[in-house]
Amino acid sequence: PIESNRYLINGELLSWKGKMAKVYSSISSTDSYQPTYLGSVPELEEQQANDSLEAALEAYDQGKGKWPTMRVKERIACMQKFVKLMEAKRELTVKLIMWEIGKNLPDAEKEFDRTVQYIYDTIEDYKNLDRDAAKFEKNEGVVAHIRRGPLGVVLCLGPYNYPLNETFALLIPALIMGNTAVFKPAKFGVLLITPLLEAFQESFPKGVVNIVFGRGRVLASPMMKTGKVDVLALIGNSKSANALIDQHPKSNRLRLILGLEAKNPAIILPHADLDLAVKECIAGSLSFNGQRCTALKIIYVHEAIRTAFLEKFTAAVDALKFGNPWDEGAFLTPLPEPNKPQYIQELIDDALAKGGKIINKKGGRLMDNYIWPPVLYPVTKDMRIYEEEQFGPAIPIRSFTDINTPLNDMADSNYGQQVSLFGKDIKELSPLIDALANLVCRVNLNSSCQRGPDVYPFTGRKDSAKATLSVHDALRSFSIRTFVALKDN
């Protein structure tokens, strides 16, 4: 087990003497099922929250601090040092991603490698951004030196499904742009941050990045209540985001960088390649057990091919391999949230009571730490699975004859992140593609929804996001364009 009582405030690795939070894995290490104890981290209190915010405020010093005014080259050097130190922790971090959140080995490795690449790409993009920003412009006798400056102090809260990658997709661009930050890891995927504490401490000047462990209610709320947080950077759910925003006394001043819920649909048209659609819908709805904001969370299949598609799809779901994350070929893996199987069961019960059916043989089979993904059909709008973001292994199916059915559903939805469209003649489909692009932010043709490649804009309409992430866009989201003007008198 990893017993770490350390946390990082104002450049110091402090030792916590108070209550510790125990971290368990839903993966059993014995034959008779029992969650595995993995270690513990501090359960810090309001005092430490306030101290960490004070440290970030002091390091920022209203924009006069050493970090926000530091030369670009020096900030890059800090980031380069950090990524090098982080790379040395690959093996341990990958192991912890598997144990803590149950991500399978290829995906755990991908999460680590993708994060490292994200940091390198951010550094490169930042160099270009800086060159752009150093430009002079002259218009109507006014010469402007345009720059890009930081926003202030960032409170950074990441999600459990990408405890490394998505947190760093917020933290790294925030820091390189000259902001200072307090970062609180998610509840699951928290231990893997502890081996990186030293890397943060050694790479950045004191107070630039502060890392605290504990409950959101205890730590994030008091920080928001001070009104001194300039940016809330959060990937997670809108309920937590809204609760935090409401606590900020000057919430209209608060900048929001949020990645929230989505209910991405797949639409399968009559001439689609069904084998390809099945393969992509499996990857889209069930990789990491559907615990991805970009996961396909509802499938619309045209009546003309419904029977053929569902036959292939249900067989493919039941042929997937369940196992522990390190088992060869394990695609479905234990769920980190102990109550998730129960929640999926509730969605099933509700759908069955309203006329839905589980149409795959294994669907709904309960295990200690898993529930076999049910394929539910027909799904109607009064069902919870239609409305709620299941964020887990369950696939609702609706059929249609008129394309306006999925289009109207999407227009009525609270979400607007991505869609997958499966069809044949892309040229002929272009008016439909245009219509879809006005409902979401990414239309995937004959492929599942996903965030990457990380250089492409990652955002959403309506309740799905505020601000745009990606290597390129995040640097812009975490900064503001300012300029010095010289009038040609």
Which chain residues interact with ligand G3H by CB under 6 A?
Answer: 161-162, 166, 292-294, 450-452
Would you state the structure tokens that stand for residue 280, as one six-digit string? Answer: 């992509």
Which H, E and C letters describe the chain, residue by residue?
CEECCEEEECCEEEECCCCEEEEEEEEECCCCCCEEEEEEEECCCHHHHHHHHHHHHHHHHHHCCCCCCCCHHHHHHHHHHHHHHHHCCHHHHHHHHHHHHCCCHHHHHHHHHHHHHHHHHHHHHHHHHHHHHCCEEEECCEEEEEEEEECCEEEEECCCCCCCHHHHHHHHHHHHCCCEEEEECCCCCCHHHHHHHHHHHHHCCCCCEEECCCCHHHHHHHHHHCCCCCEEEEECCHHHHHHHHHHCCCCCCCEEEEECCCCEEEEECCCCCHHHHHHHHHHHHHHHHHCCCCCEEEEEEEHHHHHHHHHHHHHHHHCCCECCCCCCCCCECCCCCCCHHHHHHHHHHHHHHCCCEECCCCCCCECCCCECCCEEECCCCCCHHHHCCCCCCCEEEEEECCCHHHHHHHHHCCEECEEEEECCCCCCCHHHHHHHHCCCCEEEECCCCCCCCCCCCECCEECCEECCECHHHHHHHCEEEEEEEEECC
Nearer to ligand G3H, 156 or 229 (CB): 156
Nearer to ligand G3H, 100 or 166 (CB): 166
Looking at beta carbons, which residue is closest to ligand G3H? Answer: 293
Nearer to ligand G3H, 162 or 183 (CB): 162
Give least dist CB 322 to ligand G3H, A.
20
Give least dist CB 261 to ligand G3H, A.
10
Give least dist CB 464 to ligand G3H, A.
10
Give least dist CB 156 to ligand G3H, A.
15
Nearer to ligand G3H, 48 or 285 (CB): 285
Nearer to ligand G3H, 229 or 465 (CB): 465
Give least dist CB 417 to ligand G3H, A.
9
Nearer to ligand G3H, 399 or 444 (CB): 444
Nearer to ligand G3H, 197 or 256 (CB): 256
Give least dist CB 287 to ligand G3H, A.
7
Nearer to ligand G3H, 201 or 237 (CB): 237
Give least dist CB 386 to ligand G3H, A.
20
Give least dist CB 368 to ligand G3H, A.
25
Nearer to ligand G3H, 122 or 450 (CB): 450
Give least dist CB 49 to ligand G3H, A.
26
